[in-house]
Chain A
């Protein structure tokens, strides 16, 4: 096992892309100041309606970045732009640039599949496949070509452990995920995202459909996950952002109003509109 892995790693070194090199360099260097995403002058339109205006933002590595703002402010759209899911709406047009680990994600030769294997996503509503728990978690590795049963077993176990749901589900791996509670479903979805060991995890209001106890579990999990992953979480719940994030971005009407350390943003907002929002004056 170890031998094959070594071989794979060697093979990787030989065929590494530029972005990969950058990342290796950075991860070996100081954790501070490294960015997974660099967004430059991003504009986005749904048909003729502009949804995002001139967004500039650098998303730090191994931290939780929260995105807050009133509904319709473009925060979900922005999140889905980062893994290019937003393009599932056929009328979407973008301008500007997003770099993931130095690679231009809108470049012609850049593969969406590659990006999404690196940048996992957890959705607003728990959305497991109508398959067994095992097949749900193994989905990502399988579509990326991993067929070996033993490897898959390992991946499934580890992902469910990382999502803190292994103990609850280890005897129910062959049950249909639709039979689980909403909170369990969402953590299976998190495990599913973790299964490919992504670099970044995007979370689109992951607790909005959950009860308070499940919400607490997911929040706890996010704290745990940031040790290994960079997390970007959209939330309409300011307290949640304050509790779990390291940095917070405030969006309003498709513009990025303010982006700062979470403590700074909440205690000492620089912009009047941020202050109005966090003090509950609108939204």
Chain B
């Protein structure tokens, strides 16, 4: 027979177990909130936009009537911009990472660069827009052009690329670096023949993720003057341009409901592009993860 106190303990024990179960459910619900939100968002965008999404929408220029409006200059502009951003930010970002990981001695200056990159990553994107406005648009006199937008965007995602490349380079086992130096390879040869090839999957994954952030960015491009509607495609880096998210923003901010459907169609296109980019990143990650 159980005594009073033991019964009390069991009662309390059951209570504690029940609390645990309830809390677990609560935590789970909170976690699924994100999922629900995402599903609603996708559902909403699809149902609103699908009616306006057709071939002519993709291949048309903007128009004063919702039925005729298209996102073609946005698609082309986004692609051109990504090419500029990728070239500039990968060259500078990977070089920075190589410098920090392989050349820099541990002194105040390198610490400063590291902290600086960390802080840059936390600067709001719109502030980068102001930077681009002062330097690229006015001081370098590029005006509201593709190159001004591309350079601004490249600086914006630079910290992401540097950090991803640093991680990729750091994850190259020191044993194989030693093997290379042990064969009499120079530093540059070791970097070029061993370290970079081994870290390319990581760098590529990081770059694609950074670019997919850039392709959805809107605010800084508004500041450096991406056009809201253009009727010819940019023919040089010094041409006016627009990008997908800017077109979406412009359509969203019109009061008539039809324009929101047009915006919805634009979002579908944007999300499909993002999905493609992220799938490529995941594929690369999975393919090479086993290697090292």
Contact = CB atoms under 8 A, between A and B. Distances in A.
B178 A123 contact: yes
Contact of A193 (B175, B183, B291): B183
Interface stretch (A42-50, A110-118, A148-156, A231-239): A110-118
Size class of A's contact patch? 20 to 34
Interface in B174-191: 175-176, 178-186, 189
B268 interface: no
Given A130-B176, A130-B291, A143-B193, A90 B184 contact: no
Interface residues of B, number: 21
A127 B176 contact: yes
B178 A140 contact: no
Contact of B182 (A90, A114, A123, A125): A123
Contact of B183 (A90, A114, A139, A178): A139
B184 A127 contact: no
A142 B189 CA distance: 10
A130 B180 contact: no
A120 B266 CA distance: 61
Contact of A85 (B178, B193, B292): B178
B194 interface: yes
Interface in B194-242: 194, 197-198
A52 interface: no
A90 B104 CA distance: 12
Interface centre among A120, A127, A128 (most CB of B within 10 A): A127
A129 B291 CA distance: 11
B184 A115 contact: yes
A114 B184 contact: yes
A129 B176 contact: yes
A127 B173 CA distance: 9
B181 A88 contact: yes
A83 to B, nearest CB: 7
B189 to A, nearest CB: 5
A230 B184 CA distance: 18
Contacts of A142: 193
Interface string B240-273: 0000000000000000000000000000000000
Contacts of A192: 179, 183
Given A90-B105, A130-B291, A130-B292, A140 B176 contact: no
Contacts of B189: 143
A125 B184 CA distance: 19
A114 B106 CA distance: 28
Contacts of B176: 127-130
A189 B179 contact: yes
Interface of A: 83, 85, 88, 90, 112-117, 120-121, 123, 125, 127-131, 139-140, 142-144, 176, 178, 189, 192-193, 196
Interface of B: 105-106, 173, 175-176, 178-186, 189, 193-194, 197-198, 291-292
17 contacts: A88-B178, A90-B105, A112-B184, A116-B183, A120-B182, A120-B183, A123-B175, A123-B178, A127-B176, A130-B197, A130-B291, A139-B193, A143-B183, A143-B184, A143-B186, A176-B291, A196-B183
List 6 A-B pairs, minimum CB-CB distance, nearest first: A116-B184, A127-B175, A117-B184, A121-B182, A143-B185, A140-B183
